Structures are given as C-alpha cells and as structure tokens.
Structure 1
Amino acid sequence: MSTSLWHTLKLSPAVLSAVIIAANGAVAAENSAKPLLKDDTANVSDLSVGTSLSQLNSELAALPTSDVTVDSPNLDRVAQNSELGNEPAANNTLDQIDQYTQEPAPAVQSMEGTQGTEGLDQVTSVSQLRDVDPTSWAFQALQSLVERYGCIEGYPDRTFRGNRAMTRYEFAAGLNSCLDRIQELIAALPGGVSREDLDRLRRLQEEFAAELATLRGRVDALEARVTEVEANQFSTTTKLRGEVIFGVASVFGDDRAVPSGRPQTYQGLEDNAIFGYRARLNFDASFTGKDLLRIRLQARNFTSFSGDVTGTNMTRLSFDGDTGGNVEVDDLYYRFPLGNIGRAFIVANSGEFNDLVTNFHPGFESSGSGAISRFGRFNPLYRPNDGGVGAAVNLNFGAIGVDLAYLALNGSSPLEKNGLFDGSYTAFGQLVLFPKGSFSLGLTYTHSYFPGSRVNLLGSTGSDFARRPFGNIATFANSYGAEATWRPSKYFQIAGWFGYTDAQSLGQGSKGSDAEIINYAVSLGFPDLGKPGNFLGLLAGVPPRVTDNDFTNREDDDTSYHLEAFYRFRVSSNISITPGAFVILNPEHNDDNDTIWVGVIRTTFTF
C-alpha cells in the first residue's frame, strides 16, 4: 500500500464517523470516540505507514460497549440521624434523557448481542429516506454516503430519523459498514487513492469542525449530568452502616450516694477503671427512594455507673449497657413520607422518642458523638418507655411543626398488664416553632402509665425518688416541657430545657397521692472548634428532682447539680476521640453525699 492509501485509511474512520454523528445530531457518544477527531491542520503526506486496516477494525471492535442507563429512580437523601436520603436536583437531566430515548432503539448486532426491536435496512439512494429534506444542511453529505459509498442504513419505514440520539451500537455498526465499503472501493481502484479524494476528505473534516466541536461540548455536558444522576440514583440494595465505640472510664469520689432522708452507709465507690465497647450495625433498605427500613444489630458490655457502683443513676454514661457480648436486635422500624408535609414511623422494636421527634439539642443528643452523660443528651421527658413499640408522625407546616408518637414498652406481649394499651405506655405530643430557623422552640406534653413492677418515669436520669415517686406502685404521669435552641452563628449555639412532671399514684392505700418532679439544664456548643467536625460541649443542669410528694418519705430534700464538659476531636471522617468529664454535686439531691466525678475517653468508629 502507498503512503497516501494508508493516510486515507487512517483518516477515513474519523471523517466518516464525524459525518455520521453530524447527520444524526448525536449527543450521547463516549469519550472513546474523541481520538478519532484529528487535528484539521495535520499534513496527510507526513504520516507514516503502520497498522493494517484489519488491525484498525480489531481495535474498533475492542471499544467499550457498556451503555449508560437511567432506568433507576432518584435516591431521596436522609439523614437523619444519619438515616435520610438526598433528593438530587437532576430533574432537567432526567427530562432530557427521557426525551432522547423516546424513539425505539434499532436492532444492531454487537459483541453483546442484539439490542432493540427494529431492524436497519440498507438504502441505495437518499431519496428513499422519506424524512430527509433536500434543503437540509446535511443532505449532500448523506447523499454522498448513501449513493457513493453505500454505508448508510435506514429504518424499515424508510425514515432516517436524523434528529434522534445515536446509541453506541448504531455508531459502531455505521462506522463498520463505512469502513468495509471503503475497503472495497480502494481495492477496486486501479491506481489507488487520488490526491483529489484526499483533499475532499480533508475539506469535509474542516467543514464539520465547528459542528463537531459543538457536539463534543454537548456530550461532555450530558456526561457530567448523567454522572450526577448515577451518583444519586436510588437502589433497593440494602446498605450497611456501622458504629463501634471503645471507651475507657472511671468514677472518682469517696462513698456511694444514698437517697435523701436515708442514713449514710459509707460504702466506697467501685472506682476501678474499665474498658468496654458498644458495636452497632445498621442495615438500611428503601423501596421508593424516600422511605427507610432499618434493622439494627447491637452488642455491648459497658457497665452502667449506677446502683452498686455509685449508688445513683445520675452518674450513668450516654452509651452504657450490657448484653453480655450477645448480639441482639435493637432498632427495627419503617419510615415513609406523608406527601410533602411529613413522615411516619412504624416501630417494631426498641423505639426511643428522641429518634422519632425533634429534641432541640444538636451536638449533644448522639450517644456515640454527643454528650458523655445520660442526662446531658436531652430533656428526660423524651425517655419514658424507651425500648417500646408503636408509631410516630412528624408534620411540617413551615414555621410550625407537630410531632405525635406512641410507644408501649411490652407491646408484643398479650399477658395482663402488657400489650399496646394495658401495659406501660407513653403518648407524646410536641409543637415545634420555627423548626428551620436559627432559633427553634419546642413545647412538649407526655402522658404515661406504668404498672407497679416497671415504674421509671424519666428514664433513669435523676434520683431514685424521681424514678419511682411512690415505689413499685402503679403510676400515671403527665409531663410538660419546653426546649429551645439558638444558633447565632455556625460556630456557636445555646440550648436548654425545662421539664415538669405531675405523677399520681394508683396503688391501694396511696391512691390519689401526688408528686411533682422538675429538671432543667442549659448548654453551650462550639461546632468546628479547632477544625471542621470538632465539637466542644459545656452543660450545667439539675437532674430530675422530687420537689413535693404526698407519699411519705419520698421527697428530695436538697438539690444536685450536674456539670459536664467534653471535646470531640475528629481524627478523620470515620474516627473521632472524645475525652470528657462530669461532676455530680450533692448526688441523689442529698448534700450529705460526697461529690462524685466521672471521667471517660470515648473513641467512635463509623463506617
């Protein structure tokens, strides 16, 4: 073969593919086609002989054949609580892709089989294509490709569909057909390829340079948009999210606390330092992209600093608990949207109100990355009947939101004083004001019932009297709370709460007895202190305290004070270390008790 012939072979695929792309108005070609567009200033006579035509055809056959698809719907983004999905802003992209794919794809045989349902028919004259206008800017190019080279195919209904998006299969088939035809023409030429043919090819390349550049820009833009859609597309595949906590902790002080009015026993604290863990695996699945089915497995062995350790629940940590190393099902719920104004939860196991409603304490509420104490996470009014089953609804009307929830502690048991309505339960209602502003306010009401054997009014956060104001006697309680958060800047926040509980005894001999319980706290938060992801938290408050009780000898005489400080240091996007400490002055609201300190270093791994 002569040098000119080789130049023709090397440039022909580029020119002919460019003509095919221009004629079809294609906007969906892969970047792998771009190297075919040679520099229009190149001198054909300067190129050297190298690869044969059969090798070029082999390289063409080796081009990637996977197609970009957009069959999957968009993924909704939540988060919450690391649980909500995102809603990608890609509606325009989807509309364009839908427009491009309205026409049925032709059947083109490829390495991966037959695609589409319509066949392509060879045409011998451009006049056979009913939808090609002689005044079209691409008419002459089509005429040359059809009548001179015979490498353009039409649809069975004798249409060319020049405005339809080209698939990679169609591009490969058309290019291959043109290459085969050129090979036949060259072989039939007695004198090889003439300079006139080479000049004509060069002029065609130069003539379509602007159109090809425009198409390349459109392809790049579309690829970027498709990438965005794919990155945010919804998949029904279950996703695994995990959190593991390693903690070293100890208590410091002299003697264990005793309730008000009880003689001091002078029993020393169990103050040996401990090392423990908590491991959680969340299996999150969705069926519409906007709902969430969560199954959480949990195992832990972190001893609670209460009872025989310190004599009071006020010293409990935020992440304590012990399953003996056994794996158990913790959270199990399904969340789904209620139109555009809210969402609903169906809770089958271990429901907690703070996971179902707004708690107004950002930065502190998480047991894995927030406050280190149980009391410091949020208002104890959110804690009655932790671990129950039930349902919740969150409604958002702009400046006002409404949270409604119901949890029954032993709702899965049909035995007496169990079940959804006969056993321990709490009905919850909350009005949320300015939920999306820098200042937000919550007004909370709960109504609870506890059978005699399972009384725990405020989730083991205060004194023993506040937990069971009448002892192991069936109790009703109505609680009222106010919570607020103010964020004057993204680097500083102030939050606080106040809770009031009115408890009534239902037991024989004490029926009608009344007890009043209060608790309150204020906190300062400093997000991103030192570096993004860090958080400094300071908190001061009074754990639940019985201020008045008709029942004999179960009223707190003094006042305990809870002071806490912690600093979460973000080592990486998946690891954080939180040293912290808190002190309880006058534990159990009894100033005869010694001050108790609690120190902890919590390391949290997330994935």
Structure 2
Amino acid sequence: MKKINSLSVLLGLGLLSSVTSVNAETQVQVIAPSASQSVASESIEVAPSKELVSSSDSATIRAINSQLNSSKAVAQNVTSVSQLSDVRPTDWAFTALQSLVERYGCIAGYPDSTYRGNQATSRYEFAAGLNACLDKINEIISAGLADKVSQEDLATLQKLQEEFAAELATLRGRVDALDAKTAKLEAQQFSTTTKLSGLAFFNVTGVSGNNAVRTPEATSTPTTRTPNITMSGLVWLTLNTSFTGKDSLVTQLAVGNGNSPFNAYTPLNSGFFNSTGVPFTDQTSGAAANTFVLRELSYTFPVFEKASLVVGPRVNFYKYFDGIRFIYPWNTSFNSINNTLLSNAKRGAGAVFMTPLGNQFDFKVGYLSESNEFGPGPSGTSAASPSSGLFGGNNALTAELGFKPSDAFKLRLLYSRTNLASFGGGLVGGVGFTPSLPGTVAGANNAQSDVFAANFDWLLSKGFGLFGRYGYSTTNINLAIGGSSNVVTQTFQVGAAFPDLFKEGALGMVSFGMPFNFTSGKSSLISGAGDGGTQYDLEFSYVLPVTKNISLVPSFYTIFNANNFSSNPTIFVGNLQAVFSF
C-alpha cells in the first residue's frame, strides 16, 4: 500500500476544495483535547452574543449545530488503532490512522469501539476536527517537542488553516459567545449553593358510609355519618443549602387542602383528628387549608470527627428518630408513620446530636420544644410564644440507641421524657400535640410522661422484610384541684414488606397495629378510653413506580373497634395516591 501522509489523509484528502462534504473513506472522528474544544463540539441551545459573533454568522452556526447534533453517539478516546474493531491493517488509510493515534492523539472512536470510516463528514465537522488537531500540535510544540512534528504535516496544516479560515473563526466565535453567555447565567442564576426539590401528592380517599359510629369523646352517642369521597393535594418544597459541602440548611415550605373522610369519626375537639384511618399526606399541612406554612427550618453541620449537630426553630423529628426503612410518608397513615406515643414535638425548636459508636452502633439525642405547623402559633404553646417559650410548653427530650450488625437488620431503642402543657382551660393530652398521652384529661395544670419504645426492620431477602414497633408510656397528671392521676398507655405495630414486588423499585407492605390501648387510668380520660374495647388497624399499601419521578400508591385500611368502642362497626378506608418528585 502506498504510504500516505497521515494528516493529509485526515485533514487534506479531497477537502482542499470548496465542497461541503468528503468521500466516506476519509471520515475520521476527532477528539477535542481542551475544555474549550469540548464545548465547541456540543450543541448550543442559546443564541450567540451579537457582540462576539456577527449576525451574518448565525446561519453558519445553525448549520454547525445541525451537523454536530446529527450523531447521537459520544466519541471515546483510543490509544491504539487496534481498539477500533472495524479498522483492518488492509485498509488503505490504516497506516495514516495508526500514526494519528500514536503521534497526535486526534482520533476518537464510538462507544461501541467502532471507527465508522464509511460515514460522510461536512466542512463544519471537518473544521472542528482541524481545530482539535491544531490545538494538539500546539501543545506538542509548546512542550518543546517540535521535532515530533514533521515539516510536511506543518505545511499541510498551514494550507488547511487558510482553506478553512472562515469555519475556524466561526467556531472560535461560537465558543467565545458561549463563554459570555455562561458567565451571564452564572451571575444571574438562582443560587450557587442551594438546590430545590419537591414532592407533590394527589389523594383520592373514601370511607365506608352509613355507619352509626361513636366518636372518641366519652359522652358521644352513635351517630350515622356518610362521608363523601374526597380529592386533595399536598406539596412540600425543600430548599437545601450547603455553604461548605458538609453542612446543610433545610428550608421546607408546605401547602395542602386535605381533610380525610375518616375525620368525620374523629372530630377536632376529640383530640384524635388526623390519626386513625388518615393517609399521612391527606392533610392541610397547616392549621388552615391552602395556606403556605414553614414546615421545616434547620441547619446540620459536622462536629468532632464523625458526629453532627442539627439546630433550628423547626426540626423534623421523623427524620432522626424511630425510622423504619420500609415506611415512607406516602405509603402509610398517621397512626403508622411512627410510634403513636412519640413525640410531643414532631417538629420543634431545639437541637439533635448524632454520632456513630463504632461500626455497629449509633446514638442520637435531641431536645425539641413544640413548634409545628398545626400548632396554635405564637400565642399558644409554641416555642415561639413568650407565654411558653423554649422550655415552658410541650417539649420532649429523646434519646435513641441504634444497633446495626449488618445492612439487613437494625434495632432501635428509644426513651423520651416529655412535658405536657395545659390548653383550652385545663385540658391536657390528645394525639395531635401530646401523643405521649393520646387521651384527653380535664382539670389539669400540666403533665409529664416517660415513654419507652423500640423498633426494628429486617430485610430477610431481596424481596421480603419484616418490621415492628412497641411503645409504653406512663403519664403523671398534675390536677388543678391538687394531687395527681396516672395514665398508662401502650402501642404496637408489626408488618411485612415486599420490595420490588412485580416491578423493580416497587414496594408492597402490610401492617397490623394497636395504636393506643389504655391499660390504667381510664377514669381520668374524657376522650379516648372508649367502652373498654381496643382499636386495631390493618393496612395494605403498594408503591408502584410509573416513571423515575411518578408513582401510584393504592392503600386500603380496615379499622376494628374504632375509637376503642367495641360497639363501633368495622370501618374501611380506600386511598389512591399519585406522588410526583422533582
């Protein structure tokens, strides 16, 4: 085979004329060795700056974009011509290609290790390749290796520069325009430190009707209620800001309009609103519907070598305590998202300290004073209120010890000391704000609870897991007339999970629980004790990922002995949820 100058093969053969394409045999994929050249070989979606590229060049730039965007594959570096599976030693340009790879590094192949020499090229693609090889040879000369470049190759390059001067100028102007546009975007972007993410939930919920149900109040009488099917929405918008790369400032806004049908059987004044039979995301997100609230505001930063500290006026308890790997906000109810006796400050003002203890243990301790989005606000028992403050309202000091002998199993032991402030003229307790005492007591000054809890989750195989919880609370109530009374409550939940059920990324779950059973002190309660019956909840849910960002979640709940009244009928709840993440 006749020896042919390598650069002539790549850059000269048939292209010194003014034609706009070359013979397929001369097609070469080239690699851009610098950042600027890499930018030049990609599609530009924004219009070039008029100051840097004249309007007469716009058609040329569009043509360049059209040509460079026609190939879907991304070129890959090669260090030897033997890496190109469709190039053979008998090919007429084999020696030239081999020289280009070994001497100049201007050749690239496709991801499937092919060279595709039969593809045609355009003058614009050729100009981009020429620009890349010019830069590579300049690098060689700048490195003091000018003797590695032959005079014949330099002469060829000079001719090609003259022939393709217009295309090269357009390419460089395009890069300059892109640099200017990038600088402008960086100067005007939302933030260099903050990332926005969000979750949106659509809920359609129905409950079996025509039920003569007694509500949780001790004086209630069976009343027939027929709640209609509802459709509601909830949105959480989270701004996550990092100043050092190791810290995190979380600002979360929420808005919703849900009032789930089962709330017809647990009215607000009963103390059990948004508990039994209510999907966790079927809520208003605040005291009023369709009103934005500050759901979370906290700052996490490292302390010591491996520990971290979370501080803020609104820290989310669920993120740090009593977690179970299979339970998410969108596949569970208010009664099942965490232990029903935890915590009196589901979002509170304070701090949480977290640290590993060796390879298998971890420890968390936190103090949170009630400051949640459903609370009465600055004038009530909130950490932001001067009347209660950080230490005078509902608050909880919680500690958790975790044991994780393997990635498949984790056990958590918790203790929480809680203080309960009175509200509404001497009332203490209620699921909403003081779950350590789910029932309500009248004529009280305040109360204190000791809560002991444990949970575990265990992934026995890739497609099957178990989980469970138990909680025990004893509450001492200081009465306004003097003296005190004591209420003891317990709760449990057991369940099974089925990861990747029917589809990768899906999750099936079934759980059975007793949300609150008062074992002593029932006579002190004006709400929650029922008639001696014990409520049980049976829940089924299935998370079906439709796309990477959209899931459908059907759920079905069965409530036995609702509100601890054995005389209440069994109630059924159905929910279909669409979850959008971004």
Equivalent of 1:590 in 550, 560, 565: 565
Would the aligned equivalents of 1:360 and 1:440 in 2 still touch at CA under 8 Å?
A: no
SS in 1 for 2:390: helix
Match for residue 494 of structure 1? 466
Displacement of 1:331 in angstroms is 1.6
Q: Given the alignment of the two structures, is residue 347 of structure 1 paired with residue 312 of structure 2, yes or no?
A: yes
Equivalent of 1:419 in 380, 389, 392: 389
Q: Following the alignment from structure 2 to structure 1, what is the Cα–Cα distance between the partners of residues 134 and 486?
A: 77
Q: Which moved more, 1:431-440 or 1:292-301?
A: 431-440
Q: Given the alignment of the two structures, is residue 40 of structure 1 paired with residue 12 of structure 2, yes or no?
A: no
SS in 2 for 1:466: coil
Equivalent of 1:395 in 355, 358, 361: 355
Would the aligned equivalents of 2:206 and 2:573 in 1 still touch at CA under 8 Å?
A: yes
Displacement of 1:515 in angstroms is 1.0
Match for residue 281 of structure 2? 319
Q: Given the alignment of the two structures, is residue 258 of structure 1 paired with residue 230 of structure 2, yes or no?
A: no
Displacement of 1:541 in angstroms is 1.2
Q: Following the alignment from structure 1 to structure 2, what is the Cα–Cα distance between the partners of residues 7 and 64?
A: 15
Q: Following the alignment from structure 2 to structure 1, what is the Cα–Cα distance between the partners of residues 345 and 470?
A: 20
Structure 1 pair 581/486, CA: closer, same or farther in 2 (3 Å)?
Answer: same
Equivalent of 1:377 in 324, 327, 337: 337
Q: Following the alignment from structure 1 to structure 2, what is the Cα–Cα distance between the partners of residues 405 and 180?
A: 72
Equivalent of 1:433 in 364, 381, 403: 403
Would the aligned equivalents of 2:495 and 2:512 in 1 still touch at CA under 8 Å?
A: yes
Q: Following the alignment from structure 2 to structure 1, what is the Cα–Cα distance between the partners of residues 407 and 289?
A: 44
Equivalent of 1:601 in 573, 576, 579: 576
Would the aligned equivalents of 1:587 and 1:594 in 2 still touch at CA under 8 Å?
A: yes
Displacement of 1:271 in angstroms is 1.4
Structure 1 pair 394/55, CA: closer, same or farther in 2 (3 Å)?
Answer: closer
Post-superposition Cα deviations, 1:490-543, rounded to whole Å, max 9, x if no partner, equal: 211111111011111123225431111111111111111111111111111111
Would the aligned equivalents of 2:203 and 2:233 in 1 still touch at CA under 8 Å?
A: yes
Would the aligned equivalents of 1:252 and 1:269 in 2 still touch at CA under 8 Å?
A: no
SS in 2 for 1:376: coil
Q: Which moved more, 1:377-386 or 1:550-559?
A: 550-559
Displacement of 1:426 in angstroms is 0.8
SS in 1 for 2:213: coil
SS in 2 for 1:403: strand
Q: Following the alignment from structure 1 to structure 2, what is the Cα–Cα distance between the partners of residues 461 and 545?
A: 18
Counterpart amino acid of 2:281?
A: F
Structure 1 pair 477/121, CA: closer, same or farther in 2 (3 Å)?
Answer: same
Q: Unaligned 5+ residue runs, structure 1?
A: 15-25, 45-50, 68-107, 110-119, 123-128, 133-140, 152-174, 185-234
Displacement of 1:460 in angstroms is 3.7
Q: Following the alignment from structure 1 to structure 2, what is the Cα–Cα distance between the partners of residues 388 and 56?
A: 60
Match for residue 157 of structure 1? none
Would the aligned equivalents of 2:492 and 2:513 in 1 still touch at CA under 8 Å?
A: yes
Equivalent of 2:235 in 261, 279, 285: 279
Q: Given the alignment of the two structures, is residue 363 of structure 1 paired with residue 326 of structure 2, yes or no?
A: yes
Q: Given the alignment of the two structures, is residue 300 of structure 1 paired with residue 256 of structure 2, yes or no?
A: yes
Would the aligned equivalents of 2:437 and 2:489 in 1 still touch at CA under 8 Å?
A: no
Counterpart amino acid of 1:329?
A: L
Q: Following the alignment from structure 1 to structure 2, what is the Cα–Cα distance between the partners of residues 66 and 346?
A: 53
TM-score of the superposed pair, with normalisation by structure 1: 0.62
SS in 2 for 1:588: helix
SS in 2 for 1:268: strand
Equivalent of 1:533 in 505, 509, 513: 505
Match for residue 367 of structure 2? 406
Would the aligned equivalents of 1:514 and 1:550 in 2 still touch at CA under 8 Å?
A: no
Post-superposition Cα deviations, 1:319-360, rounded to whole Å, max 9, x if no partner, equal: 1322421222212222223455332212332x3321123x24
Would the aligned equivalents of 2:301 and 2:308 in 1 still touch at CA under 8 Å?
A: yes
Match for residue 477 of structure 1? 449
Counterpart amino acid of 1:431?
A: L
Match for residue 564 of structure 1? 539
Would the aligned equivalents of 2:420 and 2:434 in 1 still touch at CA under 8 Å?
A: no
Structure 1 pair 36/570, CA: closer, same or farther in 2 (3 Å)?
Answer: closer
Equivalent of 1:328 in 270, 280, 293: 293
Counterpart amino acid of 1:423?
A: G
Structure 1 pair 402/374, CA: closer, same or farther in 2 (3 Å)?
Answer: same
User: How many equivalent residue pairs?
Assistant: 436
Displacement of 1:121 in angstroms is 11
Displacement of 1:13 in angstroms is 7.5
Counterpart amino acid of 2:548?
A: S
Structure 1 pair 287/176, CA: closer, same or farther in 2 (3 Å)?
Answer: farther
Q: Following the alignment from structure 2 to structure 1, what is the Cα–Cα distance between the partners of residues 515 and 488?
A: 14
Alignment of 1:21-40 (within 5 A): 39-40=94-95
Q: Following the alignment from structure 1 to structure 2, what is the Cα–Cα distance between the partners of residues 458 and 432?
A: 29
Displacement of 1:412 in angstroms is 4.7
Q: Which moved more, 1:495-504 or 1:290-299?
A: 290-299
Match for residue 109 of structure 2? none
Equivalent of 1:573 in 548, 554, 565: 548
Equivalent of 1:243 in 177, 199, 214: 199
Would the aligned equivalents of 2:348 and 2:370 in 1 still touch at CA under 8 Å?
A: yes
SS in 2 for 1:502: strand
Q: Following the alignment from structure 1 to structure 2, what is the Cα–Cα distance between the partners of residues 43 and 535?
A: 54
Match for residue 170 of structure 1? none
TM-score of the superposed pair, with normalisation by structure 2: 0.64
Counterpart amino acid of 2:486?
A: D
Structure 1 pair 425/59, CA: closer, same or farther in 2 (3 Å)?
Answer: closer
Q: Unaligned 5+ residue runs, structure 2?
A: 13-32, 39-74, 82-92, 100-120, 163-190, 372-381
Q: Following the alignment from structure 1 to structure 2, what is the Cα–Cα distance between the partners of residues 394 and 600?
A: 36
Q: Following the alignment from structure 2 to structure 1, what is the Cα–Cα distance between the partners of residues 386 and 502?
A: 55
Alignment of 1:63-74 (within 5 A): 63=132
Would the aligned equivalents of 2:3 and 2:95 in 1 still touch at CA under 8 Å?
A: no
Post-superposition Cα deviations, 1:212-249, rounded to whole Å, max 9, x if no partner, equal: xxxxxxxxxxxxxxxxxxxxxxx944222111111111
Alignment of 1:117-156 (within 5 A): none
Displacement of 1:461 in angstroms is 10
Q: Following the alignment from structure 2 to structure 1, what is the Cα–Cα distance between the partners of residues 365 and 574?
A: 37
Match for residue 547 of structure 1? 519
Structure 1 pair 467/248, CA: closer, same or farther in 2 (3 Å)?
Answer: same
RMSD (Å), alpha carbons: 4.4
Q: Following the alignment from structure 2 to structure 1, what is the Cα–Cα distance between the partners of residues 125 and 216?
A: 90
Q: Following the alignment from structure 2 to structure 1, what is the Cα–Cα distance between the partners of residues 325 and 34?
A: 47
Match for residue 10 of structure 1? 8
Would the aligned equivalents of 1:457 and 1:477 in 2 still touch at CA under 8 Å?
A: no
Structure 1 pair 456/581, CA: closer, same or farther in 2 (3 Å)?
Answer: farther
Q: Which moved more, 1:237-246 or 1:546-555?
A: 546-555
Post-superposition Cα deviations, 1:51-92, rounded to whole Å, max 9, x if no partner, equal: 9xx99996667549999xxxxxxxxxxxxxxxxxxxxxxxxx
Higher CA-based Rg: 1
Displacement of 1:581 in angstroms is 1.3
Counterpart amino acid of 2:510?
A: L
Would the aligned equivalents of 1:352 and 1:383 in 2 still touch at CA under 8 Å?
A: no
Match for residue 43 of structure 2? none
| Percent of aligned pairs sharing the same letter | 22
